[in-house]
């Protein structure tokens, strides 16, 4: 009876949560908070006007908070009602619902029901789908619990001597194209869009969602760069692990800083990789995660035999591409607040409304103009200057220009290290060139060119 009531309560919670439009109310609360901060920080608004506006926003904040609190109580009312009922019976429901096992199962039931609802929603992210993402990715406790349940149910292959492959670098250097070409070799296993949003419980989610498996036609990804994706496309989803277990160590308000993972976190990461390989034990793990440049030494400690590839691109071309993507995602996030939240959950702060730059020396890049190409060129300089001085022995630089112009030679060099299939004409990389007319400071151009020349010399396929 206790398990039946737990299931009924979980489904009731989801129904009330959706009926009450809780995600919309939470987003509205966030918008009010953002307006308050914008008013306080704006130098163009007089103190007199701030004194008039802020009390109005504060009242809205208070009323919205009371409303959300009340709706949360209403959403949890099935649990409350059955708990009261349990007090007058055998008390087993209270014992179950307050246990780790009960919380985990309740979360999975609610998530599964939310998943079913999402299948009936229109668009890529209907109300049900958004609810599911909020529930699973928006709360670290849920993620940690799911990971613990996953480890209890499945035996991860945690052999640290395997030759896993990590692709990490500043965005817009061809990392996605490289990852997908490597993935098509068939020797690697990676997270795919089908694992969303249960990144930390991939095997459990595959079994639960298997009965309603859906396929979709290939469609262009949000970047608008011609790359097409479907549910089975590999993607940079690994960062959910790091954000869940040690996000406060490196995700700061104004940027992302380097971090060193302790042994406990590394043991969990090795288990996480092992769980991803559960169905393909003979394969090696393939990761494309730009944020890994913040923890290269930790990756190397976890997997001493791994190869870390750090792609780079002509500084002006890469900086210009970053600027274009930033503008594109600013508009997208303005039109669709959920898209912004989605990228924040994945800790993808490369560009867009929640852009947070890599801060290797503590410099607050947020104070600079992100609409200026110089800003992105400075990020390129800071990133690759840091990497040249902090690259572990297992890591190699890879010039995207060389990968495009000398594909066979570069592929041969990679094959010697990670046993790839032979090069064929089907393996091709296209070099896109942007026309750049924006004037830039001479010292930035000189510094970036000097770094680029040094990187070319160190790049695999050259040495």
Where does CATH 3.40.50 sit in the chain? 160-463
160-463: CATH, from 1.20.950, 2.20.25, 3.30.70, 3.40.50: 3.40.50
Per-residue confidence (pLDDT) for residue 211, from 0 to 100: 43
Per-residue confidence (pLDDT) for residue 123, from 0 to 100: 45
Per-residue confidence (pLDDT) for residue 338, from 0 to 100: 85
Residue pair 272/282 in contact (Cβ under 8 Å)? The answer is: no
Question: 243: closest CA among 137, 135, 341, 152?
Answer: 137
pLDDT < 50 regions, the chain? 122-123, 211-213, 366
Q: What are phi and psi of 433, to 5 degrees?
A: -115, 130
Residue in this structure with the two tokens 């998943």, named with its chain if needed? 115
Per-residue confidence (pLDDT) for residue 223, from 0 to 100: 61
Per-residue confidence (pLDDT) for residue 462, from 0 to 100: 61
Angle at 159 between CA 157 and CA 160, to 5 degrees: 135
Residue in this structure with the two tokens 């890599």, named with its chain if needed? 358
Q: State the Cα–Cα distance between residues 170 and 166, nearest whole angstrom.
A: 13
Angle at 171 between CA 140 and CA 146, to 5 degrees: 20
Condensed to tens digits (0 to 9), the pLDDT of residues 346-383 reads: 999 999 999 999 999 765 554 578 999 999 999 999 99
Q: State the Cα–Cα distance between residues 137 and 139, nearest whole angstrom.
A: 6
Residue pair 106/9 in contact (Cβ under 8 Å)? The answer is: yes
Condensed to tens digits (0 to 9), the pLDDT of residues 108-149 reads: 888 887 777 655 554 455 555 676 677 678 878 778 878 887
pTM score, whole prediction: 0.73
Paired tokens of 399: 């010039």
């Amino acid at each position: 009876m206790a398990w039946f009531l737990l299931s009924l309560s979980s489904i009731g919670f989801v129904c009330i949560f959706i009926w009450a439009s809780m995600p919309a109310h939470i987003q509205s609360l966030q918008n009010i908070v953002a307006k308050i901060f914008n008013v306080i920080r704006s130098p163009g608004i007089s103190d007199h006007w701030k004194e008039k506006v802020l009390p109005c926003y504060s009242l809205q904040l208070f009323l919205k908070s009371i409303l959300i609190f009340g709706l949360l109580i209403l959403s949890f009312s099935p649990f409350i009602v059955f708990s009261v009922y349990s007090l007058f019976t055998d008390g087993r429901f209270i014992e179950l619902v307050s246990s780790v096992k009960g919380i985990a199962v309740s979360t999975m039931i609610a998530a599964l029901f939310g998943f079913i609802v999402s299948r009936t929603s229109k668009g890529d992210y209907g109300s049900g789908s958004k609810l599911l993402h909020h529930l699973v990715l928006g709360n670290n406790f849920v993620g940690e619990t799911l990971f613990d349940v996953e480890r209890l149910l499945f035996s991860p292959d945690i052999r640290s001597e395997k030759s896993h492959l990590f692709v990490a670098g500043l965005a817009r250097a061809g990392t996605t194209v490289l990852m997908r070409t490597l993935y098509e070799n068939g020797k690697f296993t990676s997270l795919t869009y089908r694992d969303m949003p249960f990144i930390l419980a991939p095997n459990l989610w595959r079994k639960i969602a298997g009965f309603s498996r859906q396929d979709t036609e290939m469609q262009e990804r949000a970047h608008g760069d011609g790359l097409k994706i479907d549910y089975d496309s590999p993607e940079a989803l690994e960062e959910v692990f790091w954000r869940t277990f040690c996000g406060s160590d490196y995700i700061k308000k104004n940027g992302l800083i380097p971090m060193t993972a302790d042994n406990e976190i590394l043991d969990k990461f090795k288990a996480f990789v092992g769980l991803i390989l559960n169905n393909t034990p003979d394969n090696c793990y393939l990761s494309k995660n730009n944020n890994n440049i913040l923890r290269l030494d930790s990756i190397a400690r976890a997997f001493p035999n791994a190869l870390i590839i750090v792609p780079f691109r002509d500084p002006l071309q890469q900086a210009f591409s970053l600027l274009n993507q930033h503008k594109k995602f600013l508009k997208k996030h303005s039109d669709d607040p959920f898209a912004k939240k989605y990228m924040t959950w994945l800790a993808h702060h490369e560009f867009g409304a929640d852009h947070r730059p890599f801060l290797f020396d503590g410099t607050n890049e947020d104070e600079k103009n992100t609409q200026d190409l110089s800003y992105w060129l400075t990020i390129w300089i800071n990133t690759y200057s840091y990497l040249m001085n902090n690259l572990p022995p297992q890591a190699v630089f890879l010039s995207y220009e060389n990968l495009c112009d000398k594909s066979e030679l570069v592929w041969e060099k990679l094959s010697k290290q990670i046993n790839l299939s032979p090069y064929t004409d089907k393996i091709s990389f296209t070099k896109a060139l942007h026309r750049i007319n924006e004037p830039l400071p001479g010292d930035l151009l000189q510094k970036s060119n000097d770094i680029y020349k040094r990187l070319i010399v160190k790049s695999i396929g050259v040495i």
